Structure 1
Amino acid sequence: MVFVVFIVAAIITFAAATKLSTYADALSRLSGLGSLLIGTFLLAVATALPEVTTTVTAVFLDNPDMAVGNILGSNHFNLLILAVFDIIYRKRKMLAHIYKQQRYTALFGVFMTLVIALAIFMRLDIPILTIGIDALIIVALYLLSLWIIQRTPVPEQEKNHSSQEEEYSLKHALMGFIIMAIIIFISGTALTLSGDQIALITGLGSSFVGSFLIAGSTSLPEVVTVLTAMRLNNENLAAASIYGSNLFNMLLLVVCDLIYRGPILQSISLSHAVTAIFLLINSSLVCYAMFARKNRRFYTWPSLVMILFYILTMVWLYYSS
């Protein structure tokens, strides 16, 4: 029965996300905010809602390995999504054509992942206001990224698209977006509870289940978002939703620190350190792909390497669980 609940919850999450990015694409034009800001913070937070429920619920279940594994695994899976679609749409060279402002979110993703990796390895135990110094740094980096992107002007070529005929009104797009986000939020709780039971039944361990099974399922909205955005010829919305989700996911570690009985990164298995290292490598590869842009002789090699590192991470977690 628990497997049925897990599958049904995953399907509902997938279905709700089908319309989410369509509404976000319309909002980026109707609101005048642009796909960078809408994708990085509005759409990214909405698609990351399953991570909120799964991570917080895992903490209340006293399962820090699943909570942290879900965050790191979701970020890994999100970058995998970006790599796979970059290969599928290689002729369009997605990472080479997105706005240069996207580099900011990619770089902040590298910095925040580095902080997490160092905290796991060095076992930083300097509590400030009941949370670790690593959590404070993550909050500061997230707020800084929000400030920088908020000050980034909407590119002229995106403003030129605002004159096209719209299928939705601003009110219709906003209401539809909110409804889909609520559905995704509810289905995330069911994914966590059933996933925790699957970890016990299969004996695979919370690190592997959290980083692979649940993380992959809660990242279904990102899969649909990127696919829909690419079909709408909006590469910037697709990339912004991935980068923004990764930043928001790492901000959840601060929430975990606040509600857990101690610094959560000091209560997890060291197997997560390997996940953090591979995630740091893949985040750096994304930055390279964006900064190098069209100058690569073999365009898809960074994405191919990212897929390889994801597979190595999952193999490691499986055998170390």
Structure 2
Amino acid sequence: MDYLVFLLFFLAAVVTVITAIKLSTYADALSEKTKLGGMLVGTILLAGATSLPEVTTSVSAVILDTPDIAIGNVLGSNMFNLLILASFDLYYRKRQILKDAAKEHFYTASLGLLLAATALLALTVKIDIEILNIGLDTFSILLIYIIGMYTITRISKNEPRVIPVPEVEDNTKLNTSAITLRRAIVGFAVSAVVIMIVGTVLTFTGDRIAVITGLGASFVGSFLIAATTSLPEAVSVLIAIQLRNYNLAIGSLLGSNLFNMIILAGTDVIYRQGPILSFVSPAHQITAGAVSILSVIVLFSLIRKRYGSPFTYAIPSILLILVYFISSYLIFVN
């Protein structure tokens, strides 16, 4: 009975949203009660936890011998994460959430662009060479990630901490001061586990929906499943913005994009037929190219000096949203 698949998919999505709210709240409490700032908590802890659905999805797809869904999920999630950032930036354009973003986000976005460009090159050239049972291409992605994260960590330690200007009390701002450090750690861990379990349910029901609707594996992985596994990021970012912890919100999305590239390398370890990027549809070149273009737009938004009115401020986000939907259409027709 097909309608039960859609119902289970919907219920899993609802549980994902509720859990992501808890996850983001505990992450904000951790950023307040530890020496880690919102940027580091968002880029490492929250990004890793909200990317757990992508882990279970891609691993399950490889086990089911559908590498197109595995790769499409990773690259599509990165596309969708940048869409989330642009959408919230556009909606909250009067707050100009990117205006006072920590400098470290520029380095994170730059690393994301480099990884996306490397993936695009690998998908285009398709080098059939393996190192330690993984493709040379994904091995290069893994190496770039390790060197990049090490560099960002070193730079972050040397950057002066920016103390935000106190804002007028906002009644809509959620209060996390009553959450103890121990409760925040336990709550964060439990929420992360729930996110991972529900992500698995989203994967299998999403795969079944793909069969029912007759959509191609590349499009399903890059759009439908990628969007659903990115629900935790969307909700977490919304809560972080409501908490006025903008660095946590930005770091969560940009860090999640970096973490997703590690998932891509991990799928290659599991895939036994050869370098996984050599066995997927050329349509993924569009996704990787789109992520690269979107990353350039985000970089511009982070480094620009003049912001002007809310409308002129929002122009890059509007452009990013347009590029996203044009890319999605191109993926669908291919």
Q: 2:211 aligns with which of 195, 200, 209?
A: 200
Aligned: 1:172 with 2:183: yes
In structure 2, give the amino acid aligned to 1:246: N
C-alpha deviation, 1:296, in angstroms = 6.3
Q: Percent of aligned pairs with the same residue?
A: 48
User: Could you tell me which residue of structure 2 aligns to residue 129 of structure 1?
Assistant: 132
User: Could you tell me which residue of structure 2 aligns to residue 138 of structure 1?
Assistant: 141
Taking structure 2 as the reference length, the TM-score comes to 0.91
Contact 2:129 2:275 in 1 (8 A): no
Q: 1:47 aligns with which of 41, 45, 50?
A: 50
Q: Distance in 2 between matches of 1:234 and 1:200?
A: 41
* TM-superposition CA deviations, 1:133-179 (whole Å, max 9, x none): 22122112222233233331371416999xx9821111011111111
In structure 2, give the amino acid aligned to 1:49: L
Aligned: 1:181 with 2:192: yes
* TM-superposition CA deviations, 1:216-271 (whole Å, max 9, x none): 11111111111111111111000000000000001111111100021111111101
Q: Distance in 1 between matches of 2:306 and 2:30?
A: 30
User: Could you tell me which residue of structure 2 aligns to residue 96 of structure 1?
Assistant: 99
The 3 A distance-change label for structure 1 pair 127 and 305 is: same
Q: Distance in 2 between matches of 1:27 and 1:160?
A: 20
C-alpha deviation, 1:208, in angstroms = 1.1
Residue 27 of structure 1 aligns to a residue in which SS? helix
Q: Distance in 1 between matches of 2:181 and 2:138?
A: 37
* Two-structure CA RMSD over aligned residues (Å): 1.8
In structure 1, give the amino acid aligned to 2:117: L
User: Could you tell me which residue of structure 2 aligns to residue 287 of structure 1?
Assistant: 299
Gaps of 5+ in 1: none
Task: Compare 286-295 and 2-11 and name the one that shifted more.
Answer: 286-295
Q: 1:115 aligns with which of 110, 115, 118?
A: 118
Task: Compare 210-219 and 147-156 and name the one that shifted more.
Answer: 147-156
User: Could you tell me which residue of structure 1 aligns to residue 36 of structure 2?
Assistant: 33
Q: 2:319 aligns with which of 294, 305, 312?
A: 305
Q: Distance in 2 between matches of 1:140 and 1:251?
A: 10
Give 1:200-239 correspondences, 5 Å limit.
Answer: 200-239=211-250
Task: Compare 285-294 and 110-119 and name the one that shifted more.
Answer: 285-294
User: Could you tell me which residue of structure 2 aligns to residue 277 of structure 1?
Assistant: 289
Contact 2:101 2:247 in 1 (8 A): yes
Q: 2:72 aligns with which of 69, 73, 88?
A: 69
- How many residues align? The count is 318
Gaps of 5+ in 2: 168-174
Contact 1:78 1:242 in 2 (8 A): yes
C-alpha deviation, 1:9, in angstroms = 1.1
Contact 2:25 2:176 in 1 (8 A): no
Q: Distance in 1 between matches of 2:139 and 2:75?
A: 18
Q: Distance in 2 between matches of 1:166 and 1:145?
A: 34
Q: Distance in 2 between matches of 1:157 and 1:52?
A: 35
Task: Compare 263-272 and 134-143 and name the one that shifted more.
Answer: 134-143
Q: 2:152 aligns with which of 149, 154, 157?
A: 149
* TM-superposition CA deviations, 1:39-82 (whole Å, max 9, x none): 10110000000000001100100000100110111000000000
Task: Compare 143-152 and 33-42 and name the one that shifted more.
Answer: 143-152
Contact 1:95 1:293 in 2 (8 A): no
In structure 2, give the amino acid aligned to 1:42: L
Contact 1:27 1:38 in 2 (8 A): yes
Contact 1:139 1:251 in 2 (8 A): yes
User: Could you tell me which residue of structure 1 aligns to residue 260 of structure 2?
Assistant: 249
Residue 151 of structure 2 aligns to a residue in which SS? helix
Q: Distance in 1 between matches of 2:128 and 2:18?
A: 42
C-alpha deviation, 1:3, in angstroms = 1.2
Q: Distance in 2 between matches of 1:63 and 1:165?
A: 42
Q: Distance in 2 between matches of 1:145 and 1:252?
A: 16
Residue 130 of structure 2 aligns to a residue in which SS? coil
Q: Distance in 2 between matches of 1:294 and 1:172?
A: 42
In structure 1, give the amino acid aligned to 2:163: Q
Residue 96 of structure 1 aligns to a residue in which SS? coil
In structure 1, give the amino acid aligned to 2:262: L
User: Could you tell me which residue of structure 1 aligns to residue 16 of structure 2?
Assistant: 13
Looking at secondary structure, tell me which structure has more helix per residue. 1
